[in-house]
Chain A
Amino acid sequence: MKKISLIPVLLVGALLVYAAQDFPEWGSPNSPASQSPVSSHFIANTGVDTEVPNMVTAVLADYRGFDTMFETVVVFIAGMAVLAILKNSSKKKAGSKEFEVDVEPDLIVTNTVRLLIPVIQIFAFYVLAHGHVSPGGGFQGGVVMGASFILIALSWDLDTALARFPADRCTLVAGLGIVLYAGIGLLSMFLGGEFLDYAELAQIFPVSREMARYHAMLGVEIGVGLTVTAIMFSLYANLSTEGRLKGGL
């Protein structure tokens, strides 16, 4: 069976090699992707359109903001699907082993983590808020933030982490993240633009149309960050305890 499965692998590999003969030169300024009006527009006009220095953030959160909204929804779905599969599942399985942890949290570990957590969380905010000018943004910041809660769960136990971020609140925060993102889009629609046309927000905030895009991008990044934070922690809490939310690794 292993040998048979080699055949499709080799076939697809051969296909990819065959496709490569017709590629444009590596990094060539004459390749269609560099020549197209789309990327030229991004390079020339991102600053003019949105005042955002980081082109990647502008493409992600504004030009292609609709994609990013659904990417956030995908993260949300992942969390909800894990909940849907694991919730209450342990009640059906009688006699499944409980992994109760009786060990006291280690003194050195907890004290180190006590020092680390604030730094990690402030760094998460920095990554999120600085997405406009440097690499970063909602997804990255959210993951760092979520990791700080997972670190609490690893070094004390899950109950300690859940006391700070209860499971119900995870769902609430994740949902609010999406509401924030789509809500900014909806608000710009009510103000007379298209869905996600942040420039229209200039009508209610005392900023120019370009700066309205700039600030709305921060808003949607915060939405992304909320959803990612909550779902990261919710995934860890549910997967490590088979949905029971007690005991754990």
Chain B
Amino acid sequence: MMENAIAWILIFPLFGSVACAILGMTNRKICYPIAVLSLACALWAGIETLNQLIASEEHTVAYLLGGWTLDAYPRGVGIELHADILGILITLVVLGVGLIVSVYSKLPVQEETPGKEPLFYTLFLLQVTGLAGICLTGDAFNLYVLIEVAALTGYGLIAMGSNRAAAATFNYVMLGTIGASFYLLGVGYLYIKTGTLNMVGIHDVIEANGLADSATMQVAFVLIGMGILIKMAFFPFHAWLPNAYCNAPTATSSLLAPLVTKVMIYVMIRMVLSVFGVEFSFESTMWTDVVPWLVVVAIVCAAVMALAQREIKRMLSYLIVAEVGYMVGGVWIYNYYGFIGSIFHVISDACMTLCLFLGAGLILRKAKTTHFDGLRGLFSKMPLTMTGFFIGGFSIIGLPPTCGFFSKWYLITGGMVSERWEYMVVLMFSTMVMVVLFFRLIERIHLAVTESGQNLGHGHGDLGLTEEQTRFDEGPLSMLIPLLVSASVVLIVGIYNQDIVSLIEIFLDEFNLPRGEGH
């Protein structure tokens, strides 16, 4: 049992989803416990795998599916699950977020998509399976298959939302398909030149045959890179994201917003470091010169667009686009600390986006709107929800001791060591924008001043609302507890950042990344 823990991570939610589809036909109520239970088991298997991985000498767990073991067969004959520290950390994030959202989803799913619980949880669990599989697989084509699993379930989950969700999903389908096709084409080129699909195998052939200057490999790199950038909603390919996440059901956007873009960042890091290798990615391509400037444009545009929004969910969607820019920049400034920052930011951004979207879901449920004008007096009405929501917001801004502070710290250090001043300046600029965004929200919630400066209340502390409207009225516990858990995760990851960073350092030490002078 134990030695197969890595396979159990995928088996539990896979069987859970089929169980939801079949058993849900007779008893709809059974789907929710199945979803929570299978994700809890998967999380346990994930933690077990992490323990095995730390105990092992090379800090990797390689699992050859189908028994095509490396001692008897050449590498690449079968498919390999290959977990290293990076992969398992992101897997744990995926499973943790999945578990928290599945607990949270009970009421929103019943209310927003009545009668469709079995279908929702079937797709929900397969989404988690796909995302976790992406983080664990060691095979470039298997990665594509799992991207398809994650993408298709995502389309279904989003399209279950409001009436406008169908149109938003259609845009997403188009862009998502283009991105996946680019990736697949790139993998095809990789196979032409290397003759294997195994990631370790591809890397070995690139090193052994000196393929860095090959035109085909260069094009493969561009195609895979472009495909992943489209999939992760990097500006200007972000157009599908805000509409899709705003119109999706609450539980869907809470699951997809923290995970999908972040997992694609993981794929980019995996491709750059493990498949193509540091030398190929940074020395023989021009991406290190070009991409940080694209990142500057991306962050500025996304931050400005976030400022223009008057609706919480839409504002958060643009924040995700800006955060994607942070992480892409952290990779392409080509620096040890940038990589630590990027990887740590994948983890912390998932936690804080989860926190914000769970909070937004509760606000939407209680206030029936997420427009800024409907927020007045919410703090006295639901203090716990708003506290959780604000912790997420403080983390996005980057206030210590939340996790957002530490990841941003490493990103800025990376920019400084690489002397990419444009990246540092834009990080500062975007931090300022986030401060404005969230303190404007806090002001809306605590004061009675409208957009035009008109004061609805009478003097200090008066919200201009009746007693009825500000009475303590928290959301249901099944939604509130996941929010508070995710808020405390934001704080815990921040406080114990050194433990996570030291794991990331073990992973990065085997790649010879520049650390700047004096190191």
Contact = CB atoms under 8 A, between A and B. Distances in A.
Interface of A: 15-16, 18-24, 31-42, 62-67, 70-71, 73-74, 76-78, 80-85, 87-88, 92, 168, 171-172, 174-176, 178-179, 182, 186, 188-189, 193-200
A15 B4 contact: no
B64 interface: yes
A187 B198 CA distance: 26
Interface string B1-34: 0001001000100110010011001000000000
A245 B306 CA distance: 43
Interface string B157-199: 1011001001000000000000000000000010111111010
Nearest to B191: A33
B123 A196 contact: no
Contacts of A189: 4, 7
A80 B220 contact: no
Contacts of A39: 195
A36 B209 CA distance: 12
Contact of A67 (B18, B115, B142, B215): B142
A6 to B, nearest CB: 16
Given A65-B66, A175-B18, A196-B65, A87 B116 contact: yes
A52 B198 CA distance: 24
Interface string B199-237: 001000100010000111111101100000000000000
Contact of B159 (A34, A84, A186): A84
Interface stretch (B145-153, B355-363, B419-427, B442-450): B145-153
16 contacts: A33-B192, A41-B77, A64-B142, A66-B142, A73-B129, A80-B119, A81-B155, A81-B156, A84-B159, A85-B166, A188-B67, A194-B4, A194-B7, A194-B64, A195-B63, A195-B65
Given A36-B195, A171-B25, A194 B66 contact: yes
Given A19-B189, A67-B79, A189-B4, A80 B68 contact: no
A213 to B, nearest CB: 9
B22 A77 contact: no
The CB with the most chain B CB atoms within 10 A, among A23, A66, A78, A87, is that of A66
Contact of B123 (A31, A77, A168, A200): A77
B122 interface: yes
A40 B77 CA distance: 10
Q: Which 7 A-B pairs have the closest CB atoms?
A: A36-B195, A81-B156, A197-B67, A19-B219, A37-B74, A32-B195, A84-B119
A178 B10 CA distance: 14
Contacts of B222: 15
Given A32-B194, A73-B126, A188-B67, 8 more contacts: A15-B219, A31-B192, A32-B192, A80-B122, A81-B155, A81-B156, A194-B66, A195-B11
Nearest to A82: B156
Contacts of B220: 19
Contacts of A22: 193, 214-217
B115 A87 contact: yes
B476 to A, nearest CB: 24
Contacts of B214: 22
B115 A78 contact: no
A217 B336 CA distance: 46
Contact of B67 (A83, A178, A200): A200
Contacts of A64: 78-79, 141-142
Considering residues A34, A38, A76, A174, which has the most beta carbons from chain B within 10 angstroms of its beta carbon? Answer: A38
Interface of B: 4, 7, 11, 14-15, 18, 21-22, 25, 63-68, 73-79, 115-116, 119-120, 122-123, 126, 129, 133, 139, 141-142, 145-146, 148-149, 152-153, 155-157, 159-160, 163, 166, 189, 191-196, 198, 201, 205, 209, 214-220, 222-223
Given A63-B77, A70-B146, A38 B196 contact: yes
A95 B120 CA distance: 27
A47 to B, nearest CB: 14
B294 to A, nearest CB: 16
A81 B67 contact: no
B215 A18 contact: yes
A169 B64 CA distance: 35
B152 A81 contact: yes
B7 A63 contact: no
A168 B25 contact: yes
B473 to A, nearest CB: 30
B145 A67 contact: yes
Contacts of A179: 15, 18
B199 to A, nearest CB: 13
Contacts of A66: 65-66, 78-79, 142
A166 B123 CA distance: 22
A16 B216 CA distance: 9
A19 B74 contact: no
A22 B213 CA distance: 10
B74 A80 contact: no
B126 A34 contact: no
Given A18-B215, A38-B196, A175-B21, A63 B149 contact: no
A209 B502 CA distance: 45
Given A19-B219, A67-B141, A85-B166, A62 B66 contact: yes
Contact of B160 (A33, A73, A84, A197): A84
Nearest to A59: B77
Contacts of B152: 74, 77-78, 81
B119 A83 contact: yes
B215 A19 contact: yes
A195 B7 contact: yes
B74 A63 contact: no
Nearest to B79: A66
A74 B129 CA distance: 12
Contacts of B198: 38
